[in-house]
Structure 1
Amino acid sequence: MALSVDVLTSKIERNIQLNYVYTMLMNTMLEKGIWMLFLSYRGLDLVQIGLVESVYQLAYLLFGLPAGAIGDLIGRKASLYLSIVTKILSYVLILISGDFLGYSASFVFGAISWVLYNSASESITYESCRIVGKGESYKQIYGNILALAFIAAALGVFVGGFLAENSYENVYYAGILIMLAALVPAYLFTETRGVVVNGRKRSVLRLFGESLRVISGSPLVLYVLVLFAVISTVDMTVYMYCQKYFQTMGIPVFAIGVILAVDSLFAALGGKYSYALARLPAKTFIVIIPGIIFGAYLLLAYLNSPLGVPMLWLGTIFVVAFWPIVSDLVNARVPSENRATITAFKSQLSSAGVLVLFPAVGFFAERASLSTAFLWLLAFMVPLVAYLVIKIRKSAV
């Protein structure tokens, strides 16, 4: 029997609350603050660790659009289920592996899990808000979801660091239990996307072609996507190497876990109050946000001491505050039937950047220092950011 409009609307509105729970479980990644230390403990050097991360980004790049297509062609809910399954496979593989190939396979499944989660979660949130008449509140709702994600991440980093003091492996066993719990909210979601457009099922190639035409037809969307990718690339690279960066300063593993947990709390703050920055004119915040992020990471690299830790936190606040703004700018300009695919493409651009730059930073760090490698990374990216900001300011209405 078909559901009434009121009942269906109520069930779709419940998606927002369910996504709060699902997001917290998916982001309670106990391994987030220790995975690099774990691989080092298992015998990998910085270059090998950088290559494993590059495998992750390559997998993200290769499987990103197909994963987004699952959300657009089959449904957001299917993507949310598959995200959990592939994450569990990732944990199992890293536990039973003992060499570079095994760890790389684990990271491949981790990448697939994350792109499935990202594209479907963002799409189902935007569409649920639009369907129930809360489109104007999307930036605030998505900011709240990000805030909860990073609160969960902070808790995960803290607990993961505590568990790692006794056994790195216990971190991954606990992660499997959390993923099993995430199956409950995934089951309760109400689908917001069908598989038929204009009475016909679309092929994957047709979907990709339509999505590329949407992006190429809007210069503002294209420039915003690339700027997001550049900032995300720098942020991910700096954040992940900070585990080793802080260790070289003599900071103990548990304290590194605390630093990264606090970083996640500042990220939650950025997500929570992103809507306040969004009130500024587009031509203003598109200059302020990248400027603060790059300035903070420049000081982090230059100081090369524990005094630079607050700069990591400052950069994180504005990186995460930028996410809901970008999400709204892009989602408002793309059709529903292409939304998950274009969201996946946004993440793929970031992966392409990290794929190249993460091992490059590791290479320079092995021969000089992480501080020097960070400075070169920032110097390389600044001209590109300046160009994109100028283009966006010209395209913004």
Structure 2
Amino acid sequence: MENNIRLKRNVYKNYIFTLLQSLDFTRGIWMIYLASKGMSLTQLGLLETIFHTTSFLMEVPTGAVADLFGRKISRIMGRVFSLISVILLLSANSFLWFAISFVFTALSYNLESGAGDALIYDSLKEIGEEETYMKVNGKKELFYQAAGIISFFVGGYLATKSYNIAFLLTVVIGIITIVQSLTFKEPNIGRINSKEEKENIFVNQLKESIKVVISKPKVGFLILFTQVIMAFCTCIFFYLQNYLKGNGYTEWTIGIIYAISSLTVALLATQVHSIEKKIKEQGLLLIVPFLTVACIWGVALSKYSYVFFILLMITEEIIYVSMSDYINKMIPSENRATILSFASMVFSFFMITLFPFIGLIGDKFNLTTAFKCLAMLGSILVIANAALLISRKRTHTK
């Protein structure tokens, strides 16, 4: 009984953890900050490529660490690495040290990406409440977006005074987050305890996880679908900072725009399960991608690009919350963190290609042209996705 109570508390502790982890006052300004340090758009693209190359190579191994040695341990290590990355970013003045900082940032994301979701889903599963995961995940997103509102408002304002203050406050919050991450209870589901089972543990874990994905093609499709959408949205999220700055917006104004987007998404997050019930999985897979690409076109072509950016963040939120629930329901606990890390690895693969491409086009021409290229590529992909889904539906109905 006591064990169940502690596992139940994981859910509420995770809301606090999400708030603290996401209180990053550099979120809306780091690209502008690095540009002020002399980095070009191409160099910014290369730094993000370094981040995602590290993430691509280390996602699955770190996911295996979470499955084999504990989600809690993986989460704590992730926070320590995140703190190191912020300190390096604040103190560095060269591309090399910025790159090293991005390596640590990537590792912090790797260690959290599969472990955090697995920790909460398996806590719920162990007490028989896994069916509430979509609601829980939606509420978690509410805290994430609330932290975003604070981060963008405060970070944008501080950036007009001093970038250093924004980074130092983020360091303080990072230390507090490490302490709070020590309070979680590790669920027993999926844990490997015997010494015999730990022989060749990494290789066996990877093999078993790959077998799960191969045996369930729908898992692979949903992972691919979700990560493509998120890669496109992430490119807009980061490069829009420099785009708006170049169009005369101050860091404070940019912070307000990003804060409004977080507020809007926060209000929507807890209602995603209701939206999913109305339009179902097929509706999500067909309608939302078209809306996403329409928003990218709006960012590229409209003088009200910030309005379409906010709408874009809404479509991303709907996809993330709903697809996360679908995927978790189809995979076993003992492979959960590793398979969720596969998803992050797919995201990194697309970002390695897309992010530097946008930076290069932005340097050679301008970011408007880069956004148009992204919108054209997105249009091709959503049309192909729709054709594939309609074809599969017809095949299944025959």
TM-score scaled by length of structure 1: 0.94
Q: How does 1:276-355 map to 2 (within 5 A)?
A: 276-279=274-277, 280-303=279-302, 305=303, 307-355=304-352
Question: What is the root-mean-square deviation in Å for CA atoms of aligned residues?
Answer: 1.8
Alpha-carbon shift at residue 118 of structure 1 (Å):
2.1
Deviations 1:236-268 (A, max 9, x none): 001100001111221111101111111122222
Q: Is the 8 A contact 1:91 1:106 kept in 2?
A: yes
Q: Is the 8 A contact 1:270 1:318 kept in 2?
A: no
The corresponding residue for 2:7 is 12
The corresponding residue for 1:172 is 167
Deviations 1:122-166 (A, max 9, x none): 111111222222222110111110111111022112111122122
Within the candidate set 362, 365, 369, 2:362 is matched to 365
Specify the code of the residue in structure 2 equivalent to 1:248.
G
1:256 aligns with 2:254: yes
Q: Distance in 2 between matches of 1:199 and 1:9?
A: 29
Q: How does 1:65-84 map to 2 (within 5 A)?
A: 65-84=60-79
Q: Is the 8 A contact 2:40 2:363 kept in 1?
A: no
Q: Is the 8 A contact 1:31 1:171 kept in 2?
A: yes
Q: Is the 8 A contact 2:49 2:356 kept in 1?
A: yes
Q: Is the 8 A contact 2:361 2:370 kept in 1?
A: yes
Q: Is the 8 A contact 1:220 1:392 kept in 2?
A: no
Structure 2 residue matching 1:200: 3-state secondary structure: helix
Alpha-carbon shift at residue 293 of structure 1 (Å):
1.2
The corresponding residue for 2:127 is 132
Alignment size in residue pairs: 390
Deviations 1:326-385 (A, max 9, x none): 111111111101100111111111111111111111111112221111111121133333
Q: Distance in 2 between matches of 1:123 and 1:355?
A: 26
Please identify, of 230-239 and 277-286, the stretch whose mean Cα deviation from structure 2 is larger. Answer: 277-286
Alpha-carbon shift at residue 389 of structure 1 (Å):
4.4
Q: How does 1:136-155 map to 2 (within 5 A)?
A: 136-155=131-150
Alpha-carbon shift at residue 198 of structure 1 (Å):
11
Q: Distance in 2 between matches of 1:87 and 1:255?
A: 27
Q: How does 1:78-227 map to 2 (within 5 A)?
A: 78-193=73-188, 194-196=191-193, 200-201=197-198, 203-227=201-225
Alpha-carbon shift at residue 386 of structure 1 (Å):
3.3
Please identify, of 28-37 and 377-386, the stretch whose mean Cα deviation from structure 2 is larger. Answer: 377-386
Alpha-carbon shift at residue 218 of structure 1 (Å):
1.4
CA spacing shift, 1:261–1:277, aligned 2, 3 Å: same
The corresponding residue for 1:270 is 268
Specify the code of the residue in structure 2 equivalent to 1:288.
I
Specify the code of the residue in structure 2 equivalent to 1:217.
S
Structure 1 residue matching 2:185: 3-state secondary structure: coil
Q: Is the 8 A contact 2:157 2:251 kept in 1?
A: no
The corresponding residue for 1:246 is 244
1:54 aligns with 2:49: yes
Structure 2 residue matching 1:189: 3-state secondary structure: coil
Q: Distance in 2 between matches of 1:385 and 1:216?
A: 24
CA spacing shift, 1:224–1:386, aligned 2, 3 Å: farther
Specify the code of the residue in structure 1 equivalent to 2:86.
Y
Q: Distance in 2 between matches of 1:230 and 1:40?
A: 27
Deviations 1:12-47 (A, max 9, x none): 000000000001111111110110011011111111
Structure 1 residue matching 2:182: 3-state secondary structure: helix
Q: Is the 8 A contact 2:288 2:315 kept in 1?
A: yes
Q: Distance in 2 between matches of 1:62 and 1:224?
A: 21
Q: Is the 8 A contact 1:247 1:253 kept in 2?
A: yes
Specify the code of the residue in structure 1 equivalent to 2:243.
Y
CA spacing shift, 1:390–1:131, aligned 2, 3 Å: farther
Deviations 1:189-241 (A, max 9, x none): 00014223797226111111111111122121111111111101100001100
Please identify, of 280-289 and 146-155, the stretch whose mean Cα deviation from structure 2 is larger. Answer: 280-289
TM-score scaled by length of structure 2: 0.94
CA spacing shift, 1:328–1:389, aligned 2, 3 Å: farther
CA spacing shift, 1:168–1:301, aligned 2, 3 Å: same
Q: Distance in 2 between matches of 1:389 and 1:78?
A: 41
Q: Is the 8 A contact 1:228 1:326 kept in 2?
A: yes
Specify the code of the residue in structure 1 equivalent to 2:109.
W
The corresponding residue for 1:3 is none
Question: Percent same amino acid at aligned positions?
Answer: 28
Specify the code of the residue in structure 1 equivalent to 2:357.
A
